[in-house]
Structure 1
Amino acid sequence: MRLFARRLHLWLGLGLGGLFALLGLTGSALVFYTGIDAALHPAVRVEHGAPAPDAGSPVWDVALATGMQSRHHPGGKWTFEVTGEGGPIAARYYPAPGHHGDREMIWFSADGKRIVRAEPWGGYLMSWLYQLHMQLLAGEIGHQLVGWSGVAMLVLLVTGIWVWWPRGEWRKALAFKRHAAPIRRLRDLHKLSGLWSMALLFVLVATGVLLALPSVAQAVFAPADIPEPHGAATGARRIPIVRALAVAQRALPDGRLTFFDVPMTPEAPLRMRFQVPGDPHPRFPGSYVFVDQGTGAVLAVHDVRRGGRGTRLAAWIRTLHDGTVGGVATRILAVVLGLVPAMLFATGVLHWLRRRRAHTKP
């Protein structure tokens, strides 16, 4: 059985090791992708230093009006991010489904009166890396490929431990022989780098599978469905964003606003996204308030704390995958872990090639 595990580990490593390394390296680059992207665009960085707008700031309505001057397709949608930091205002514009256009990332000046940067999603370095990491630049097929390849990578990790597991000589199994032959040093480096990172790599890969395959996450955790309410569509003028945010905050008084959506379709509600106490992800939390665009009435509230155990467990998937679980320290750890698959692939291939050459010598 151990021989079977060894062969399975070898061929999975040769077949998927390159993809594993690619996903690890791109994942490392993406841990701090918003900060890296800001550093690469000085035209946006000059806006830093301005105070952070809160939910009661009129700047949100100003920015929406500025954006709608050039992007106002009837079926489109604006999403604004509330970072809690000063500087440019980050937003996304989604054209109507079926409309010939890609999602755009928009940055407004701190006063909301100017667009200081606008680029299609996937059209600049960090978003391109994001698409590569999530779907290999291949859309839904890429999502599926990443997800199911991740399942095979879990098998790769398990067989690696199985092949390594010592039969009594633990000290020898955990040793790195610096003065041994090169082929032995390669094997030890491969063995030990995999061994000490195994548990955390397993978490990263497993959570990556669940993010790439939401249907699997749904089957495993059965989280509560997010409501999809509809407004009255009375034709009334949209209420000011400031008023809608105040209404939403009263519905979740202990929540921290992170995003809000402004759809151009009148019957679609305004959607506010909040982090509530106990929700682990600071940027992509799981609680929502839906507000009627015309009347300002609360149509629905989705509080992650009331969704049951499956909902609360599912909330940890992203925060474990991107390293935000413990702040900056665990994000740095996630960067380092993302480099390990490349090391495992390189040492594994080199060890395999040296063994092949040794076996083919006359």
Structure 2
Amino acid sequence: MSKVALRNFWFQFHKWIGLLLAIAIIPISVTGAALVWHDALDKALNPQRFAFTQTEAKLDPSAYAAAAQRVLAPGERIVSLRFAEGEPVMIAAAQPRKDGARGRPGRTVVYMDPGTAKVLDKADGNAGLVRFMHGLHGSLLVPGIGRQIVGWIGVAMTISTISGIWLWWPTVGSWLKGLRWKRHRNFDTNLHHQMGFWIALPLFVLSLTGAWISFPAFFGKLSGDVQQTRPGQPDRMAMMRAKPLPNPVTSLDQAIASSNALAPEPVTSVNWPTDLKPEWSVSKNGKTVSVDDASGAAKLDKARGERPETTARLMRRIHDGTDMGVVWQVVIFIGGILPAILAITGIIMWWRARKWRGDLAKRQRRKAVAA
């Protein structure tokens, strides 16, 4: 294949990837940019959840559980409790499953004042603008296969960034010529060339990590990061569908007391026993203690407590900016805004070229008739 033919191939590939996926790329990119500032956005949209004066938990965990239970609807069962510095105490409860319903049951989240256990807000776990953006970014709100669709869009975008650099590279002269602003007479084309070049590397990383998150099993095999389910333990998807036990034998206070013998640190979160895994899970600053509901026996869960930095976890942190510093978070934010602009300018460029070819064809037909 000649250089001209290869360049034309990359041009067609790049063009049609952008055109066909523009309607999905724009919402995925914009929501990804916004979710970099997830915490700040949540505080701005839901100030009532942060209307507390004391930031440290002052009561026993059972006091928060009792306060939450009083505002929950009949049939809703508590599944987890979470403490985090500077945030409200959060309790999640599983909603009753409707007859014939499949998948993970709905969640109700109760937000409480850390100092008094006063209920600040109660909301459906899938409601609100921030949750909507998470769903749109992660699955395009398509049930079942949405995550895979987003993953393939990430693969296409990864290849598209490579083809974009190929097309940006000047055909004649030094590559420095590519940095010139006026490579074309149209503003949108120059904007597309310049933004495409400067965002290419971050966009490649974000697209690749996005695909990695969507296809953990495939990439896990490549990196040797495959998570094995322990013998006798249900897999992750089954655990998401598990139901909290209606009447645990061991109380919350007893479970925490049992965990203190192995890990005396302050509690950061608690997961209630379920029908698939009848044991309490008490997390304490990086350590996790499992407490059997039937006997109250506690054991230190090293697999959870150590939480090694796996490749999959690193890919997720790179993608969403968690603990990556403000500089990378700003890069992610820009990397979310610019692809939307690239998609729009790409559509404008295609439409103008289409119109130009149509006008050219008309002129050629007139000449043919005149001749």
By the TM > 0.5 criterion, same fold? yes
Change (3 A) 1:176 1:157: same
Q: Is the 8 A contact 1:75 1:97 kept in 2?
A: no
- Which of 154, 157, 170 aligns to 2:158? It is 154
Find the aligned partners of 1:113 and 1:123 in 2 and give their Cα distance: 23
**2:301 maps to which residue?**
300
Matched, 1:117 2:121: yes
**1:78 maps to which residue?**
79
Q: Which runs of 5+ in 2 are unaligned?
A: 1-5, 235-244, 364-371
What are the residue-to-residue correspondences of 1:206-355 with 2, within 5 Å?
Answer: 206-221=208-223, 222-225=225-228, 227=230, 236-240=249-253, 242-243=256-257, 246-247=260-261, 249=263, 259-263=269-273, 265=275, 268-273=278-283, 288-293=288-293, 294-298=295-299, 300-303=301-304, 312-355=310-353
- Percent of residue pairs identical: 24
Find the aligned partners of 2:85 and 2:12 in 1 and give their Cα distance: 52
Equivalent position SS for 2:272: strand
**2:148 maps to which residue?**
144
Give 1:24 shift: 0.8
Equivalent position SS for 1:113: coil
Change (3 A) 1:116 1:352: same
Deviation digits for residues 73-122 of structure 1, max 9, x if unmatched?
8895522232222x521232234666766212221232453332111122
Q: Which runs of 5+ in 1 are unaligned?
A: 277-286
Change (3 A) 1:123 1:107: same
Change (3 A) 1:273 1:212: farther
Find the aligned partners of 1:274 and 1:242 in 2 and give their Cα distance: 10
- Which of 7, 11, 16 aligns to 1:11? It is 16
Matched, 1:39 2:44: yes
Give 1:170 shift: 1.1
Deviation digits for residues 24-46 of structure 1, max 9, x if unmatched?
10011111223212222232232
Give 1:306 shift: 7.9
Q: Is the 8 A contact 2:317 2:323 kept in 1?
A: yes
Alignment coverage as a number of residue pairs? 335
Find the aligned partners of 1:223 and 1:75 in 2 and give their Cα distance: 35
Q: Structure 2 length as normaliser, TM-score?
A: 0.78
Equivalent position SS for 2:271: strand
Equivalent position SS for 1:302: helix
**2:64 maps to which residue?**
63
Q: Is the 8 A contact 1:153 1:205 kept in 2?
A: yes
Change (3 A) 1:131 1:235: closer
Deviation digits for residues 192-239 of structure 1, max 9, x if unmatched?
211111111111111112222332243333344365769xx9974325
**1:194 maps to which residue?**
196
Q: Is the 8 A contact 2:262 2:300 kept in 1?
A: no
Q: Which has the larger radius of gyration?
A: 2
Find the aligned partners of 2:328 and 2:63 in 1 and give their Cα distance: 37
Find the aligned partners of 2:311 and 2:277 in 1 and give their Cα distance: 32
Equivalent position SS for 2:80: strand
Q: Which amino acid aligns with 1:118?
A: K
Change (3 A) 1:82 1:220: farther
Change (3 A) 1:219 1:8: same
Q: Which amino acid aligns with 1:36?
A: L
Equivalent position SS for 2:145: helix
What's the Cα RMSD here?
Answer: 3.3
Deviation digits for residues 280-320 of structure 1, max 9, x if unmatched?
xxxxxxx744333451411632157686xxx6222202110
Q: Is the 8 A contact 1:186 1:351 kept in 2?
A: yes
Q: Is the 8 A contact 1:82 1:257 kept in 2?
A: yes
Q: Is the 8 A contact 1:157 1:198 kept in 2?
A: yes
